Chain A
Amino acid sequence: MFKPEQMSRLLIVASKDQMAPIVTELHRNNLFHIEDYVEAGAEGYEGFKIGTPLSGATEASGDLVKIRTIQNTFSIRSDELEVKKRQKQSDLEVMIERDLPAIEQEVEGLTVKRSKLETKVKEFEQKMSELSPFIDIPGDLDLYSGYSTLSVFAGYVEKEVSLSVPHEMFSTRGKGKHFIVVIAAVEQRSVVEAALQEAGYQAVTIPDESGDPKERISFYTRQITLMKKEIGEINQNLDAIKEKHAGFMVACEEILKVQVERAEAPLRFATTNETFVAEGWVPSASVENLSQALVKATAGKIFVTVLPTDSEHDIVPVEYNNPSFAKPTQMLMDVYSRPKYSELDPTLMLSIVFPLFFGLILGDVGYGLILLAMCLGLRKYMKGEEGTRLLTVLRNASFSSILFGLLYSEFLGFALPWKPIMFSRHLNIGAHSTGHGPQIPELMILAIWIGLVHITLGRILGMINHARQDHGDHRIKAVMANFGWICVMWGILMIIWSIVQMPYMPDFTTLPKVVSSVNIAAVVGAVMLIAGVIFIARDSGLELVELPTIISHVLSYARIVAVGLSSVAIAMVVNYIAIGMLISPQLENITIIGVLFIILGVAVFLIGHALNTALGILGGGLHSIRLHYVEFFTKFYKGGGKKYSPFGLNRRFTED
């Protein structure tokens, strides 16, 4: 909790003939995060070289490429497939040898045939479009070419053409431009060209065909229909193959991936002529098990030891260590940045506070239920890990929305049959509305209090982080600077409290005065402020530029109220337009036009609330995460940790 999984640095040394069993064992355990060896002459590694792949790497890679090509053709994605039954690796290896080439050949044959047909269809369509202008010109297509004494012109002109030389002309009228065919003697070519040029002539290629253009076009249409049918059949065949072999494909891919990963592992090890050395990270709790497994796999011909961790120079991979209900929120952390090994991991806080903010903003039973239904419904369609995690986060947020909806007494903008238990957000919308109206000042103060607490918490975490990470003189200064920020914030508050009286906030205006109108609280506040500024300046003078952010960050929490109220306002306006203005006046006296109005009202109601649901989820989600990312994390959190990605694979479709 609040700390990533503890890691230990493991060193494995063995002779090269033990490499294969060790790699297999490491891969099977899926625990060892390999530190890649780079030939940079690191201390203690003089004379070591990067290893060479195990045997069988090339073949496995080749097969993997084949499988992936076929998968691409079929657009099979392993994370979208349901796992039916895990297949045995030995069976699959036989099948890869036996069946894969045949399947590959079949698929390739079909796709080649399909692409040939598609090219042909394109070609014929091109020919048809070339032929189409000639449809209405009488005469066969072979009459357009093969003359030695005549020139043939065909193309579009913008206006009528009249020629002074003997000629034959056919034309069809079109929109804006006419299609024209002119036949004249070769000697008069230049005259005709000049006349045509004047009419804005654009030449058209005369198709190299014979026969009646209409017949040619219908011939091509028939051919295209035939070919499209054939393409459809090929697609059906491919679909059948996909249906039959999809499970086999993903299982093969998995196995080959395992083989390739194992075979290429030595590229990350340091080797000499006879031995190899692998360094990496293992969760401290698993060190014992992994060492024993390795010793067992090699019959003791291996040296495994835990090296000391150098917290300053080692970049330790980070694996979250959270209770299961907070795990989905790790996704929101990864969007920002994974925590460093030495840093506090705020996932747990985020997993509690994010839904609370979301609920405070959306706070409506109706929208909460819609969101809950959406999350549960989408679960079927979103198979990826990220997607499911996001849905779980949103599900928690929807529970919180329902809870706050009950407190606010809101259901799609209507009031529930009780008075708001928390502050009211009901607006007075419509001519007849009565009631107290929203308790804006109280809500604002609530938001400000949330901001003050959240930011103070952030600064305290900042103090802890600096105390842990920094060393020497800087450590004290950095911790004190964070304390200084808290002092400045609360100092300003003390001064404000000593001047104005506000609901739900301490009232210091009546405290005894020190000098003229300045009372004790103001003096204490001023001292805190100045002390805080000094603490901050001692760490870094430039930081003082950031002082105004204290006010803007605290006020920024007002968005919890503001965004929420705007969502309530939209819901109430939609209800008022749909029911108050369109539906209920018509219900008193139903006429045919009245029914139309009622239908319109229902449409407005549905569209309006659909829109507001989308806005509510976006607003509630984005603003609450933003309050964390910008206002909260900037106080203590840096991130930039390296992801713990152990050597191995979570097998889904196959087993050893």
Chain B
Amino acid sequence: MAAEVVAAAITDIELMKASQIGMKAIGAGLAVGLTGIASGIAEMAIGSAAVGATAENKDVFGLVLLLTVIPETIVIFGLVVGLLLLF
């Protein structure tokens, strides 16, 4: 009787551990995915304006490239959070 209870408890704990790993994976996925979408939205407007500006004046290419990649920081943070969650 007692052995059965212990065995059941152990399987419960193992299940919980497994589900925790799954939750972590979901969390990491959400962190990367959502920040990726956010970066995409932010870069969308900047990127189109940047292309327009470059078409008018090629000299600003370096500057607008810089402005375009600034929101990328958000997704990098997401990736960092994801990696820290997983490892």
List the interface of chain A (C-beta within 8 A of B): 334-337, 437-438, 440-441, 444, 552, 555-556, 558-559, 561-563, 565-566, 622, 626, 629-630
Known: A626-B66, A626-B69. A565 touches B83 (CB 8 A): yes
Interface pair A566/B79, CB less than 8 Å apart: yes
Q: Which of B61, B65, B79, B86 contacts A562, CB < 8 Å?
A: B79
Query: How many residue pairs, one in A and one in B, have C-beta atoms under 8 Å apart?
Result: 51
Interface pair B76/A558, CB less than 8 Å apart: yes
Known: A335-B62, A555-B77, A562-B79. A622 touches B87 (CB 8 A): no
What are 29 of the A-B contact pairs (CB < 8 Å)?
A334-B62, A335-B62, A336-B63, A337-B62, A337-B63, A440-B83, A440-B84, A440-B86, A441-B84, A441-B87, A444-B80, A444-B83, A444-B84, A552-B73, A555-B77, A555-B80, A556-B73, A558-B76, A558-B77, A559-B76, A559-B79, A561-B80, A562-B79, A562-B83, A563-B76, A565-B83, A566-B79, A622-B65, A622-B69
Point out the residues of chain A lying under 8 angstroms from B63, CB to CB: 336-337
Q: How far is the CB of B45 from chain A (nearest CB, A)?
A: 18
B70 within 8 A of A: yes
Interface pair A629/B76, CB less than 8 Å apart: no
Complex-state Cα separation, A302 to B86, whole angstroms:
77
Tell me the count of chain B residues lying within 8 A, CB to CB, of chain A. 17
Q: Which of A334, A558, A629 contacts B66, CB < 8 Å?
A: A629
Interface pair A335/B83, CB less than 8 Å apart: no
Interface pair A630/B66, CB less than 8 Å apart: yes
Q: How far is the CB of A424 from chain B (nearest CB, A)?
A: 11
Complex-state Cα separation, A45 to B66, whole angstroms:
43
Q: How far is the CB of B38 from chain A (nearest CB, A)?
A: 15
Q: How far is the CB of B1 from chain A (nearest CB, A)?
A: 37
Interface pair B84/A336, CB less than 8 Å apart: no
- The 4 closest A-B CB pairs, nearest first, are A335-B62, A440-B87, A562-B79, A559-B76
Point out the residues of chain A lying under 8 angstroms from B61, CB to CB: 335
Interface pair A558/B87, CB less than 8 Å apart: no
Interface pair B80/A562, CB less than 8 Å apart: yes
Interface pair B62/A336, CB less than 8 Å apart: yes
Chain A's closest residue to B74 (CB) is: A552
Interface pair B70/A630, CB less than 8 Å apart: yes
Instruction: List 17 other contacts, CB 8 Å, given A336-B63, A562-B80.
Output: A335-B61, A336-B66, A337-B62, A337-B63, A437-B87, A440-B87, A555-B77, A556-B73, A558-B80, A559-B73, A562-B76, A562-B83, A566-B79, A629-B62, A629-B66, A630-B66, A630-B69
Complex-state Cα separation, A561 to B61, whole angstroms:
27
Point out the residues of chain B lying under 8 angstroms from A558, CB to CB: 76-77, 80
Q: How far is the CB of A350 from chain B (nearest CB, A)?
A: 13
Complex-state Cα separation, A561 to B77, whole angstroms:
11
Contact mask for chain B residues 49-87; partner A; CB cutoff 8 A; 1 contact, 0 none: 000000000000111011001101100110110011011
Complex-state Cα separation, A438 to B83, whole angstroms:
10
Complex-state Cα separation, A641 to B84, whole angstroms:
43
Interface pair A438/B87, CB less than 8 Å apart: yes
Point out the residues of chain B lying under 8 angstroms from A440, CB to CB: 83-84, 86-87
Q: How far is the CB of B76 from chain A (nearest CB, A)?
A: 4
Q: How far is the CB of B58 from chain A (nearest CB, A)?
A: 11
Chain A's closest residue to B73 (CB) is: A556
Chain A's closest residue to B87 (CB) is: A440
Point out the residues of chain B lying under 8 angstroms from A335, CB to CB: 61-62, 65
Chain B's closest residue to A626 (CB) is: B69
Chain B's closest residue to A332 (CB) is: B62
Complex-state Cα separation, A441 to B80, whole angstroms:
10
Complex-state Cα separation, A335 to B72, whole angstroms:
20
Chain B's closest residue to A333 (CB) is: B62
Q: How far is the CB of A105 from chain B (nearest CB, A)?
A: 37
Point out the residues of chain B lying under 8 angstroms from A561, CB to CB: 80, 83
Point out the residues of chain A lying under 8 angstroms from B87, CB to CB: 437-438, 440-441
Point out the residues of chain B lying under 8 angstroms from A566, CB to CB: 79
Point out the residues of chain B lying under 8 angstroms from A555, CB to CB: 77, 80
Q: How far is the CB of B66 from chain A (nearest CB, A)?
A: 5
Q: How far is the CB of A445 from chain B (nearest CB, A)?
A: 12
Complex-state Cα separation, A559 to B76, whole angstroms:
6
Contact mask for chain B residues 33-50; partner A; CB cutoff 8 A; 1 contact, 0 none: 000000000000000000
Complex-state Cα separation, A630 to B79, whole angstroms:
19
Complex-state Cα separation, A337 to B80, whole angstroms:
31
Q: How far is the CB of A332 from chain B (nearest CB, A)?
A: 9
Point out the residues of chain B lying under 8 angstroms from A630, CB to CB: 66, 69-70
Chain A's closest residue to B66 (CB) is: A629
Point out the residues of chain B lying under 8 angstroms from A565, CB to CB: 83
Most buried by B among A441, A562, A626, A629: A562
Point out the residues of chain B lying under 8 angstroms from A563, CB to CB: 76
